[in-house]
């Protein structure tokens, strides 16, 4: 955690830079690479592979409020834009195929970003705590939303998940406290632990027919949620799944459910109707 490091000079002898080498360098202002280096180069203090296909690191304290990624880039590395609090907008070209883990984490002033349909891989924590984002488009080729991908994006108001997505990771949208609606397609078969935890403005959600399990704490502290539809494909409801859903008034547990975890409906203080089959063998 070289949090006070302000500049980096890379000599021509360097042939390899490891994964996450400059993570958490939150004060970094400039990166320079010796012109004779055969493997890396910089453009305006931004570090790239020599062939300009990989963006490795954008200095966190570079004094720009917008940045356009070159069209040659196909991959954004882990931590590439982490802590870039000066950036308000970033243009991602259609050439990009993968966005790494933590790539835009703590870009707290980033208000607009469009992920192009060319992106097939979106890493864990990719946009965590991008608290100024108001909208987010998820490409319709993405098959999974990884852990913490949009966690803490507290200004996003609506989320549309494309039909290509089959799984939503742990904490994927946790603490998106301004989200009022979420459209989960039928293609999704699993909702991870705490996936929508603390989405406190979420009033209603319809769980699609493909879901077989609702993870631990999946909707914990969704305090505005008044109704929820659980399909008859769901077999298990995890620990604390709907804990602190204080506005939830009615719920029906389908016959398909065979297990309900600890504290699943604890502190649902407005519950007026709770319909459950007598055959469920395991309620904890």
DSSP per-residue letters across 145-189? E-TTTTTT-TT--EEE--TT--EE-TTTTTT-TT--EEE--TT--
Closest to 216 in 3D by CA, of 249, 252, 243, 187:
243
What's this model's pTM, rounded to 2 decimal places?
0.91
pLDDT per position in the chain (284 positions), as tens?
899 999 999 999 999 999 899 999 999 999 999 999 999 999 999 999 999 999 999 999 999 999 999 999 999 999 999 999 999 999 999 999 999 999 999 999 999 889 999 999 999 999 999 999 988 889 899 999 999 999 999 999 888 899 999 999 999 999 999 998 888 999 999 999 999 999 999 988 888 898 999 999 999 999 999 888 899 999 999 999 999 999 999 898 999 999 999 999 999 999 988 888 666 666 66
């Amino acid at each position: 955690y070289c949090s006070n490091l302000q500049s980096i000079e890379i000599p021509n002898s360097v042939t390899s830079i490891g994964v996450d080498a400059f993570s958490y360098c939150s004060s970094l202002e400039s990166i320079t690479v010796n012109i004779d280096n055969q493997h890396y180069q910089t453009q305006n203090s931004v570090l790239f592979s020599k062939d300009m296909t990989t963006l490795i690191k954008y200095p966190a304290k570079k004094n720009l409020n917008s940045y356009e990624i070159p069209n040659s880039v196909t991959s954004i590395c882990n931590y590439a834009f982490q802590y870039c609090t000066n950036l308000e907008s970033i243009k991602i070209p259609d050439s990009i195929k993968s966005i790494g883990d933590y790539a835009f984490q703590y870009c707290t002033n980033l208000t607009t970003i469009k992920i192009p349909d060319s992106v097939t891989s979106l890493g864990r924590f990719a946009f965590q705590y991008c608290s100024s984002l108001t909208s987010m488009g998820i490409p319709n080729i993405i098959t999974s939303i990884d852990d913490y991908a949009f966690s803490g994006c507290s200004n996003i108001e609506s989320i549309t998940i494309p039909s290509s997505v089959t799984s939503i990771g742990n904490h994927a949208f946790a603490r998106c406290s301004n989200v009022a609606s979420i459209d989960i397609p039928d293609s999704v078969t699993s909702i991870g632990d705490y996936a929508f935890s603390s989405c406190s403005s979420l009033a209603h959600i319809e769980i699609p027919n493909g879901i077989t399990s609702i993870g631990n704490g999946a909707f914990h502290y969704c305090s505005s949620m008044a109704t929820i539809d659980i399909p008859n494909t769901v077999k298990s409801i995890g620990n604390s799944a709907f804990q602190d859903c204080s506005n939830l008034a009615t719920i029906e547990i389908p016959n398909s459910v065979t297990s309900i975890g600890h504290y699943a409906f604890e502190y649902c203080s407005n519950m007026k109707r709770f319909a459950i089959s007598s055959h469920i063998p395991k309620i904890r």
